[in-house]
Structure 1
């Protein structure tokens, strides 16, 4: 979807990009009169490159990425304006509720400390959160109610993509690993008695318990013999490799099978829904761009775009 949208916006830029002096410091675009600020671009750019301090991009690379980020910001602005026109804007309470949900994953004070350590301004973070909520609301409350999926469409998709619904044979395993036989053995005993992997791992220091699904024929060589004769609920012998002690517990074993149409329907529905949502969004955006007044700083336009703009009637000035 992004490629299509970006092409649409390039067309929009050719029509509405402008040159000249700025009318307000820090404004790099206007969407139906509403400003988009350079600070928003810089914030998103910094987020995209968090942890890549050693990377030194060229001026053109930065300019290109700024154009893509601006693309997203303009789309978000159009979406927020549409929600406002429909009387279903993202409210301050919506943002507060979403923020509280995020904060629940952090101990007291840790959320603010994390933002400080990552040099993230809380107001910029909240603005991004508001935009994300806006996009979610637009898809769920504006586009989704208009989309219908006929059962015949689902059946046709299922028939044409049968290979996508073939589930190969394999096993679901608990992999218990630790620094010593005693600890791993203790963990396995607890798991076999019904304790949850999370509780077992919390009780026993340096012991890890993870669940994995492995297709037949893709087991590590050293696991093959141990798994081959295991029955569901049984544990393998303890194995030692590279100073790590491992034991496997077989939780489930499945033969190869083809999902029935009813079993595959949730997946088919999601695929068809995603395609129709993309199409509906692109259609909405195409129409919106035709009636929107979008002006963008010349420094973010392609050179050929600037030439095309110069041939057209000059438009109102926008800041650089």
Structure 2
């Protein structure tokens, strides 16, 4: 999720130190009474830092900033969960089970649990974050999305104002035929040009591999550019040699440079406008929710941030310190491990993916104790 300065400042105005009750040991914050545990904070931090483990020893100030940013994320996620509960839209155990099963299905039997062990990932913490992820997805789809309308005039204006974003350069659709010898590649290409059956090549020539690619002409490698020069659709290049073997290129289709017409560009326009409006709607909801929320953070966390030489005097400043981020970065929902969102792409009907060119379309912690 993108971290917004305004949101973190609102959080700072609401933060109140928790007392040191024994029952609060291991809790770093409460959101309207609901606890956020230190284990959740540590789990998220470990996931974000897994690629740099052992690379360096982070400073206390850097750790404080990272934990503060993660905690702010967890607070927002808990507010989303509570909003869904008020609307009787909470993520059910069945929905959680199905989502977990979908992740496990991407692994061979038993491999998912093995990965958890090898990566020191606590399954309970992973499921907690998966539930948060599902809650945010449901919140955006079932709460925010129905509120948003896109007027056709608005879409037309966006298209006109961003017409250059819908320019598609010249591209080629190519069949690449590879094999261990020049003679085998030549025979495979001849057979394809005769019957135009790509699938039969693997049967007829077991060592031959084929793949179909779409390449923009400006991104062709020098050897491919030379080999394709002068070819017409349906013709094949000479056999090329490289250190990996032999290959030939069959030009299937050449698409001229063009600008996507409004009808084909509309899905991309709608996606861009929807993303902006969803972000605006979320920030509006979050600002109103924070204004009446009871958010408490461990007094030990606040005190540790006010030690001389470790930052500004205000305890909440440690919570709100925020690294500078590009202004045009969009909100991103934090996915659980091994869960990814499908790319939103729109095919222009000619094998080219216009989304590539069309629309160039936030965390405090110490040891336990409160």
Query: TM-score, normalised to structure 1's length?
Result: 0.85
- Distance 1:63-1:196 versus aligned 2 partners, 3 A rule: farther
Given that residues 17 and 306 in structure 1 are in contact (C-alpha distance below 8 angstroms), is that contact kept between their aligned partners in structure 2?
A: no
The corresponding residue for 2:315 is: 306
Cα deviation 1:141-162 (Å, max 9, x = unaligned): 0000010000000000000000
Q: Distance in 2 between matches of 1:105 and 1:258?
A: 38
Shift of 1:242: 3.5
- Distance 1:174-1:15 versus aligned 2 partners, 3 A rule: same
Secondary structure at the aligned position of 1:105 is classed as coil
Given that residues 191 and 200 in structure 1 are in contact (C-alpha distance below 8 angstroms), is that contact kept between their aligned partners in structure 2?
A: no
Given that residues 18 and 298 in structure 2 are in contact (C-alpha distance below 8 angstroms), is that contact kept between their aligned partners in structure 1?
A: yes
Shift of 1:41: 1.2
Secondary structure at the aligned position of 2:174 is classed as strand
Q: Distance in 2 between matches of 1:209 and 1:226?
A: 17
- Distance 1:12-1:236 versus aligned 2 partners, 3 A rule: same
Shift of 1:303: 3.5
Structure with greater helix share of residues:
1
Shift of 1:187: 6.7
Q: Give structure 1 stretches of 5+ with no counterpart.
A: 310-317
Secondary structure at the aligned position of 1:250 is classed as strand
The corresponding residue for 1:100 is: 101
Shift of 1:213: 3.0
Confirm or deny that 1:16 pairs with 2:15.
yes
- Distance 1:308-1:103 versus aligned 2 partners, 3 A rule: closer
Aligned residue-pair number: 308
The corresponding residue for 2:327 is: none
Cα deviation 1:179-212 (Å, max 9, x = unaligned): 5546656776787653459x959x967x765544
Q: Distance in 2 between matches of 1:150 and 1:306?
A: 46
Q: Distance in 2 between matches of 1:119 and 1:276?
A: 39
Query: TM-score, normalised to structure 2's length?
Result: 0.74
The corresponding residue for 1:7 is: 6
Secondary structure at the aligned position of 1:213 is classed as strand
Deviates more, 1:143-152 or 1:6-15: 6-15
Given that residues 198 and 210 in structure 2 are in contact (C-alpha distance below 8 angstroms), is that contact kept between their aligned partners in structure 1?
A: no
Given that residues 173 and 248 in structure 1 are in contact (C-alpha distance below 8 angstroms), is that contact kept between their aligned partners in structure 2?
A: yes
Q: Distance in 2 between matches of 1:88 and 1:44?
A: 25
Confirm or deny that 1:63 pairs with 2:64.
yes
Deviates more, 1:162-171 or 1:230-239: 230-239
Given that residues 14 and 305 in structure 1 are in contact (C-alpha distance below 8 angstroms), is that contact kept between their aligned partners in structure 2?
A: no
Q: Distance in 2 between matches of 1:54 and 1:208?
A: 41
Q: Give structure 2 stretches of 5+ with no counterpart.
A: 306-310, 319-367
Q: Distance in 1 between matches of 2:14 and 2:172?
A: 57
The corresponding residue for 1:231 is: 232
- Distance 1:160-1:92 versus aligned 2 partners, 3 A rule: same
Secondary structure at the aligned position of 1:253 is classed as strand
Q: Distance in 1 between matches of 2:191 and 2:25?
A: 64
The corresponding residue for 1:34 is: 34
The corresponding residue for 1:169 is: 170
Cα deviation 1:299-318 (Å, max 9, x = unaligned): 26664441789xxxxxxxx9
The corresponding residue for 1:45 is: 45
Cα deviation 1:194-249 (Å, max 9, x = unaligned): 3459x959x967x7655443222331111112112333344322211244433323
Once the two structures are superposed, the pairs formed by residues 230-249 of structure 1 within 5 Å of their partners are 230-249=231-250
Secondary structure at the aligned position of 2:66 is classed as helix
Secondary structure at the aligned position of 1:107 is classed as coil
Secondary structure at the aligned position of 2:12 is classed as helix
- Distance 1:225-1:34 versus aligned 2 partners, 3 A rule: same
The corresponding residue for 1:194 is: 197
Segments of 4+ moved more than 4 angstroms: 176-180, 182-193, 207-211
Shift of 1:94: 0.3
